[in-house]
Structure 1
Amino acid sequence: MIHTPHPHTPQQRAPSGARAVVVDAPGRHRIVSGPRPEPGPEEVRVAVHAAGICGSDHELYEGTRPRSHVRYPVTPGHEWSGTVDAVGEGVDARLVGRRVVAEGFRACLRCVRCREGATTLCLRGYDETGFTQPGAFADVLVLPARLLHPLPDGADLTAAALLEPAAVAAAAVLAAGVRPGDRVAVVGAGTLGVLAVQLLAAFSPGELLAVDPRRTRGELALDAGASRARTPDEVARERGAFDAVLETAGAPGTAGDACRLARPGGCVVLAGALGDGAEGLDPLRLVLGQLTVRSVFGAPSAAWSYAVRAFTEGQLAPRALVTQEYPLDRFGEALERVRDDPAAGKVLLRP
């Protein structure tokens, strides 16, 4: 039987020390302890409240993530929330005690792409918290202060741990350019899909369909604001019916499914993390249908600001997606739960 700690009773940690999960190589991890790291100039140290586990963390552990997008040994954890407990030189001391989340991409802010606002396309190359830089599967995290997004006093930090996937969902919604009255479909009702549904519902679409083979996930999407929830088989006859389609599942055939749902001249946004074996798009369908296809990998600063604002204003409520919480030293068990339990929602590690 899996023990789920009470959300308000995190394990005690020694103020003078800090633990972290370290993945030395695919399939090998350990829990290390040492002094609490000190923030350098323009950096902050954050006491981690909670950190979410997602499919890309599993890829990191199994060694299936592209080698250019991981650097071993590494402490994973790119979905997190916490409280600033120390600041380095050049950082406003008033940040201490603030509840925060932060962007993961370490963009240079100087190249052409960054100056356009496309910080996830930084020409310096890929560099992200939890993959190439130490992440939040730890008691504390040190990172550049410029990446922070402060939250209001009293913000629900357990819910806020899902603001990273919410920012990715926000990037997809912004890319889709949805207008009030549009017919919109979301393919996939996992964490990313349900968060996208919540954001899309605020645009007052004419229809908001969630597509997922799991009935329980469809019910979550309905609670999030979808007007209908259907399985892929049930929408087979609805081809060419939607102004905008967001693909969030990353399953082998879902990119093609999304394109088939889009109307002629419609927009398709691919946001799911497609792995090996993903089926290609049909170029004839794209050309004859004059579809606009966009893709999303991570979230630029504008999408983060949008997601944090929606969370602050109550338009984004991710707490219901959290289904299990594990202490840090049970990282391996938590990772297995994400991998082996199709019914698992968002699993959090709690230092």
Structure 2
Amino acid sequence: MTGDARSVLVERPGAHRLVTGEPPAPGPGEVRVRVHAAGVCASDREVYDGTRAAGYVRYPVVPGHEWSGTVDAAGAGVDAALVGRRTVGEGFRACGVCDRCRGGETSLCTAGYEETGFTQPGAFADYLVLPARLLHPLADDADLTAAALLEPAAVVAAAVLRAAPRAGERVAVVGAGTLGLLAVQLLAASSPAELLAVDPRTRPLEQAAAMGATVTAAPEESKELHGRYDLVVETAGAPGTARDSCLLARRGGRVVLTGMPEPGAHGIDPVHLSVSQLTVASVFGAPPAAWSYATHAFGQGLLRPAELITHRLPLTAFGEAVALVGSGDPAVGKVLLTP
């Protein structure tokens, strides 16, 4: 195999280059994946801008934690039948042996944070090497372009599993970006009596309605709905969305936070939490059970990620892709790099 494997290397905040070399070789227990597509999200923009929290990125790094591809080589001790399989894979490189990992909470691994695309080489490359135990193989006819969104779908699946929606409940989703629209799709499958989507942008609200939301509202309009919802899933990570989500919940309701706000976000009123007896949970990443849920929902057609994709760019256009993600343009949905 010739030395023509490419990858995008972010050497330090604001500085990247395309590097080439020999394809990486999988070690014992590892596989090499030929990347089909990789999603660019706000956390990749943080890596490039240098605003990601300390300890959650290690430079130089090849970003890319949302990906799909085909296994093209297997290391020692790995089932050779995996070669040729279409697949996605978990990002957290958890130790697998600490108490949290053994309890299935791999995103809380006590051995320290390691994740594909942040501290380990990611998928903005022709090839990706990762432990075979992290793979979630897909059907032979799976749409690999759409499957590149299964990482954010797994995060949403983790929120839905934590929220445990019940048929007939009133449910709200705050934020109609990639996470929010995937949440609308999964929550619509739980047969809610009402499914609200909140976002300041018109186009995402129209998409949410097409994907199962029965009510849509801008943030100002949603104030009239405070105290109405049994379950609220927050996905935006904007300065006030955690607080607003708690206000939308009824007394005794449940709130799950998935967005990642920047420092200085508005706090949640502890008096409101206590008086309303809210249950508030948070999600960071996705454990194996959430990945299984997301890939199964995708295989059954309950998740339709392809509808969220607006841009497909070559690997050489990384700079343009990052600029699109940070542009604020409402016409920009999910941006993919396609090696």
Give the TM-score range, shorter chain. Answer: over 0.9
1:263-306 deviations in whole A, cap 9, x for unaligned? 00000000011112211110000000000000000001100000
CA–CA distance in structure 2, aligned partners of residues 15 and 303 of structure 1: 38
SS in 2 for 1:237: helix
1:231-290 deviations in whole A, cap 9, x for unaligned? 111111111100000000000000010000000000000001111221111000000000
Whether 1:346 aligns to 2:334 is yes
CA–CA distance in structure 1, aligned partners of residues 308 and 277 of structure 2: 36
Which residue of 15, 29, 32 maps to 1:42? 29
Q: Structure 1 residue runs of 4+, over 3 Å off? A: none
CA–CA distance in structure 1, aligned partners of residues 264 and 214 of structure 2: 32
Match of 1:5 in 2: none
Write the mapping of 1:176-255 to structure 2, written as runs, cut at 5 A. 176-255=163-242
Following superposition, the deviation at residue 16 of structure 1 comes to 4.7
Whether 1:19 aligns to 2:6 is yes
Match of 1:322 in 2: 309
Query: What residue identity is the alignment partner of 1:50?
Result: A
Write the mapping of 1:1-351 to structure 2, written as runs, cut at 5 A. 16-343=3-330, 344-351=332-339
CA–CA distance in structure 2, aligned partners of residues 162 and 15 of structure 1: 30
- Give the number of aligned pairs: 338
SS in 2 for 1:67: coil
TM, length-normalised to structure 2? 0.98
Q: What are the ranges of 5 or more consecutive residues in structure 1 without an aligned counterpart?
A: 1-13
Query: What residue identity is the alignment partner of 2:246?
Result: C
SS in 2 for 1:169: helix
1:48-92 deviations in whole A, cap 9, x for unaligned? 000000000000111110120000000000000000010101111
CA–CA distance in structure 1, aligned partners of residues 241 and 314 of structure 2: 34
CA–CA distance in structure 2, aligned partners of residues 103 and 97 of structure 1: 18
TM, length-normalised to structure 1? 0.95
SS in 2 for 1:20: strand
1:15-64 deviations in whole A, cap 9, x for unaligned? 65200000010111110000011101010000000000000000011111
Query: What residue identity is the alignment partner of 2:221?
Result: E
CA–CA distance in structure 1, aligned partners of residues 302 and 232 of structure 2: 21
1:183-205 deviations in whole A, cap 9, x for unaligned? 00000000000000100011001
What's the C-alpha RMSD, in Å, of the aligned pairs? Answer: 0.9
Following superposition, the deviation at residue 228 of structure 1 comes to 1.1
Match of 1:7 in 2: none
SS in 1 for 2:326: helix
CA–CA distance in structure 1, aligned partners of residues 46 and 207 of structure 2: 26
Following superposition, the deviation at residue 215 of structure 1 comes to 1.0
Query: What residue identity is the alignment partner of 2:205?
Result: G
Query: What residue identity is the alignment partner of 1:350?
Result: T
CA–CA distance in structure 1, aligned partners of residues 273 and 324 of structure 2: 38
Contact 2:6 2:126 in 1 (8 A): yes
Following superposition, the deviation at residue 340 of structure 1 comes to 1.1
SS in 2 for 1:69: coil
Q: What are the ranges of 5 or more consecutive residues in structure 2 without an aligned counterpart?
A: none
